[in-house]
Amino acid sequence: MKLDKEEAYVMAIVCFEKAVCFESERLRYKGISAVDSENLVRWRSNKHVYESAINSRAINLEEHEAWFEGYMQDKKSLRLVITEKKSGKDIGMVGGECKDAFFVLSYYIGESDFRGMGYAGEAINSLIEYVITNTTIQVFQANVLPSNRASINCLSKIGFVLSTAHVNGLRFTKVV
């Protein structure tokens, strides 16, 4: 059955539960919850993380709590804490939101000791697999600053291609 763009978008919105849990070879993923707030704020306030992000500024707990309240009601968004299996340590976040018939990614490895180990690529691929298994979404995008070489390299390694340069940076796309 072929769905048009609007039908695909509606089906994707219906599917995102916040309490999702799954794993990949080296990582576990669980839907973010209020207990993750301290780590999420610490990671998003890390200079390396926020200077590499499209939203290039630190956040505080009040801002996070306001965002989180809206996030919990938003059926088109999904955010997951990334946990390294070997150490049991929470190391970052992967997620995104449906926009039209696309899933726009958001991700970072917040713990500096775990960067450069391929965890972001593994997390993105696992999220993509989850989304395509549970929705009709087949197009994934990531917006990246031109200065974020690590993200550009990561996305390129896992099959994303540069699709546009725009006012907010570079847009990478992957169709599965």
Q: What is the tens place of the pLDDT at every residue in 119-138?
A: 999 999 999 999 999 888 99
| Residue 14 pLDDT | 40
pLDDT computed for residue 2 by the predictor: 43
**Which value, to the nearest 10 degrees, does the dihedral of the CA atoms of residues 19, 151, 50, 82 take?**
30
**Cβ atoms of residues 139 and 161 within 8 Å:** no
> Rounded to 5 degrees, what angle do the CA atoms 5, 104, 27 make?
125
Helix (H, G, I), strand (E, B) or coil at 153: helix
Q: Is the pLDDT of residue 8 over 50?
A: no
Q: Which domain holds residue 21?
A: 5-175
Q: Which two tokens stand for residue 42?
A: 């610490």
How many Cβ atoms from other residues are within 10 Å of residue 60's Cβ? 10
Q: How far apart are CA 145 and CA 73, in angstroms?
A: 29
* Residues of the chain above pLDDT 90, percent: 76
How many CA atoms lie less than 13 Å away from 6 in the CB half-sphere? Answer: 0
pLDDT tens-digit map of 47-95: 989 988 887 788 999 999 999 999 999 889 999 999 999 999 999 999 9
d(CA 62, CA 23): 31
What's residue 10's pLDDT? 45
Number of compact structural domains in the chain: 1
Instruction: Assign residue 61 the CATH number of its domain.
Output: 3.40.630.30
pTM assigned to the model: 0.89
Cα gap 135→156, rounded to integer Å: 24
Give the integer Cα–Cα distance in Å for 159 and 151.
12
pLDDT of 3: 41
Overall average pLDDT of the 1-28 stretch: 66
Predicted pLDDT at 35: 95
